[in-house]
Each structure stands twice: as structure tokens, then as C-alpha cells.
Amino acid sequence: MTGITVLAGGVGGARFTRGLLAHLAAEHPSAGGEASTVPVTVVVNTGDDMWLTGLRICPDLDTVMYTLGGGISEEQGWGRADETRRTSGEIAAYGAGWDWFTLGDLDLGTHIVRTDLLRSGRTLSEATEVLAQRWRPGARLLPMSDDPVETHVRLAADIDEHRAGDLIHFEEWWVRYRAAAAASEFVQVGLEQAQAAPGVLEAIRDADVVIIPPSNPVVSVGTILAVPGVRAALRDTDARVVGVSPIIGGSVVRGMADRCLDIVGVESTALGVGRYYGSRADGGILDAWLVDETDAGLIPDLEAAGIRASAHPLWMHDVPATAAIAAHALRAARATHPIALDRPTVQNIGGTL
Ligand code: GDP
Ligand code: CA
């Protein structure tokens, strides 16, 4: 078995992957029993990345790395546990930085090391590998691209010092304006010239299963899909592609992803997002789509749109509940592709996903 590839944003993608790794460790334990024998690659959105006070900040990569490495603040879902804010206070005392984006002291350590690596000529993939040596996330973390890509938001009305029509960084719109400032479109600056980072397209093409976790469909998954070559790799791969709905009962569970869906004209339901991704048979990306059990009534409409769907509890309350979701996703993959996943291999003797 060549492995599983997850296309992730921040909090939703990170939590899902943690559950996936727990499921695999239980089902396919390595000799020591701690990890699994199934390789997992996480391709992470870098469209939220930005420069702040001279440092390169990669919010989704850090959320995934801290979550899988055990350093995440569980209450926030992002940032470090046991964090302090003394350095931000000092930066603010100089009238510098952005008061709406706080960088914790421990988190700053990550940004300083990353920025130092980038300035010494390493790529973001290489810098990520160095950071991951400390956190041992149990999965290979790949930025979607080593080229800088930034999602910007076009404002539809004046707000503060910004005029209608201006482009502002997605994080400013999301964090400073809580996604409430009227906006007309997302513009992914740098994306057309960007190349997928080394290993990304291969990780999609060579996987047994590709999972679209419950991440923001527009600015996390949508940005990864827009990296040149990614959609073609998803079209050509022999892997089954399984998505997990980030919308439960018409609500986004956590956060404000519905604001992003509004802007691209997609209704915030498991049906709307399922159709937005589309069936692979019709030029979309999904072979199978998991919706929450409360959304089981949407399955006939999804199937009418050519999307094979099944209903399961999709709340990622804790690691065991999330591991169960991952198990359903792998079962859904197997249901659409019995041959490749059931073949015994050296690493996966007689087992099934
Ligand atoms: P971000 O980069 O931190 O915004 O994180 P993601 O791109 O991974 O997307 C977060 C999305 O995950 C949220 O907008 C929710 O729609 C979804 N989500 C969060 N918690 C849950 C959960 O428990 N279950 C499901 N199904 N979706 C969730
Ligand atoms: Ca994000």
C-alpha cells in the first residue's frame, strides 16, 4: 500500500488527520505499536500565509503540525498550548505589528526559525521538514506550493482605511473583520505562476486513497485544488477520492466558512458543497462523499448529482469520534474500489483499511 493523502486546511484538516492517524495506529500498528505502517501525506493549504513583522507566518501548516505533534491549544484549535503574549505586547508598544493578529511567544519561535531557513535559501518544503523534525507529526507534511501564494479578498464596501474594490489579505478579512465585511470575490495572488511543491502531485497520483477532510471548501481545499496540476492529478489518480462534509445540518460547525461559500455562490449545506466539489465521473473530484447522519435526507439529491454519498456522525468531538469518521471514509473508499485496497502487501498483510 502506498498510502493515504489528505488535502488539508487548518483546524478541520488537522483534527481529521489526527483521528485518521489514531485509526491507522489501531488497525495497522507498527512493530512498536505507537504509529501505523500506512504512510500518510498531508498536503496543506498555504494560501493563508503572510509576512508579519518580518516573519513568514503559515497558519495552516502550523495548525496541522502542532495538532499532530501534541502542541496545539485545544481550546482555540490553533496556536500553542500554554502560550504567553509578552513579545506581541512589546511590538504593540512600538506601534508596530497588527493589533488584530496576535503572535504568541512560543509560536514566534516557530516563525523565527522558519523565516531564518527561508532567508538562508531553503524552500518552504525544506523549512517545514526541519520544523517537523521537532514535532514528529506522524505524517509527511507538504506545503501545497513552495511559491508564495496569498488569498486576498475584494471588499464590496468601504471599511476603516480600506475602500470598496480594494484587495485585503484573507487573514485580515477573516480575523480582523470576522468575515463580516461585504466582499465580492477571492483572488489567489501568485497562484497561476505557482508550482505544486515537490512530492505533492506524486502524493495524489500514487496514493491508494485521497481524502478531502472537513476543511473550508473555498479558501483551504479550493486553493489547493487551484494549484496548477492538482486537479489533473486528482483526475488521473487510481486512488479513490473521498470527501468529508464540513457542513452539518446547514451549519459550518465552527468558524465562518459559510461566509466564503456565500461569496462563491454555494449554499452552505452538505449538498451544496458536495455539488461544488462534484463527482469525479463528471469532471469533479469526489468518488464518495460523507455527510452527517442528520443530513441523510440529502443523499437522494447527491446521488442524482452523480455523487455517491453515505451518512455517519461527523462531529469531531474528540480523537476516538474522529478516528471513527476516518474509518468510515476509508470504508467508503474501499466500497468504490475493492481491488486495490484489499490486496495484501508487505506492509499491510491481510489487513483492510
Ligand atoms: P481553518 O484553516 O482553520 O479555517 O480550517 P479548515 O480549512 O480545516 O476548515 C475548518 C472547517 O472545518 C470549519 O469551517 C467547519 O466547517 C469544519 N469543521 C470544524 N469542526 C468540524 C467537525 O467537528 N465536524 C465537521 N464535519 N466539520 C468540522
Ligand atoms: Ca486556514
Question: Tens of pLDDT along 88-116?
Answer: 999 999 998 888 888 999 999 999 999 99
User: Which residue has cell 526541519?
Assistant: 130
Cα–Cα distance, 130 to 238 (Å, whole number): 31
Counting residues of the chain whose pLDDT is more than 90, the rounded percentage is 88
Ligand 1 atom with the shortest distance to the CA of 245:
26
Question: Ligand 1 centre and the CA of 30: distance in Å?
Answer: 30
Would you say 277 and 217 are in contact if contact means Cβ atoms under 8 Å apart?
A: yes
Cα 159 from Cα 169, distance rounded (Å): 14
- Return the SS3 of 285: coil
* Contact yes or no for 332/285 (Cβ under 8 A): no
pLDDT greater at residue 157 or residue 342: 157
pLDDT value of residue 336: 80
> What is the average pLDDT value for the chain, to the nearest integer?
93
User: What CATH architecture does domain 4-147+194-336 belong to?
Assistant: 3-Layer(aba) Sandwich (3.40)
- The span from the CA of 165 to the CA of 156, in Å, is 6
Nearest to 48 by CA among 229, 231, 191, 159: 191
> Ligand 1 centroid vs 215 CA: distance in angstroms?
5
Which pLDDT value is given to residue 99? 84
Report the pLDDT value the prediction gives residue 1, as an integer from 0 to 100.
54
pLDDT score of 349: 37
Instruction: Give the per-residue pLDDT at 35.
Output: 84
pLDDT interval class at 252 (50, 70, 90): confident
Cα of 122 from ligand 1 centre, angstroms: 31
Q: Provide the pairing of β-strand 209-212 with 240-244.
A: parallel
From the centroid of its chain, how far is CA 8?
2
Per the listing, cell 502560550 goes with: 83
Give the residue from 141, 129, 181 showing the smallest Cα distance to 46. Answer: 141
Q: What angle do CA 257, 262, 264 make, to 5 degrees?
A: 100
What does the domain layout of the chain look like in residue ranges?
4-147+194-336, 150-189
Phi, psi of 219 (to 5 degrees): -95, -10
Ligand 1 atom at minimal distance to the Cα of residue 8: 8
Model confidence at 344, pLDDT cuts 50, 70, 90, reads: very low
Q: Say which residue the cell 465562518 belongs to.
A: 256
Q: Which pLDDT tens digit goes with each residue over 308-335?
A: 999 999 999 999 999 999 999 999 999 8
- DSSP label at 280? G
What number of residues does the chain have? Answer: 353
Ligand 1 atom closest to 292 (CA):
26
Q: Which pLDDT score, from 0 to 100, does residue 210 have?
A: 98
Task: Please state, in angstroms and rounded to a whole number, the distance separating the CA atoms of residues 16 and 318.
Answer: 10
Helix (H) or strand (E) holding 272: helix 270-277
What global pTM score does this model have?
0.94
Residue 156 has pLDDT above 80, yes or no: yes
Alpha carbon distances (Å) from 190 to 144, 149, 170? 13, 5, 14
Of 57, 75, 254, the one to substitute when testing ligand 1's pocket (max ligand atoms within 8 A of C-beta) is 254
Strand bridging mode 288-292 / 209-212: unpaired
Instruction: Print the SS3 string covering 289-311.
Output: EEEEHHHHHHHHHHHHCCCCEEE
Q: Is the pLDDT of residue 7 over 50?
A: yes
Give the closest ligand to the alpha carbon of residue 151: 2
Angle at which helices 124-135 and 59-69 pack, to 10 degrees?
Answer: 20
Tell me how far the alpha carbon of residue 101 lies from the centroid of ligand 2, in angstroms.
14
With the CA atoms of 156, 160, 162 and 168 taken in that order, what torsion angle do they form, in degrees rounded to the nearest 10? -80
- Specify the pLDDT at position 338: 42
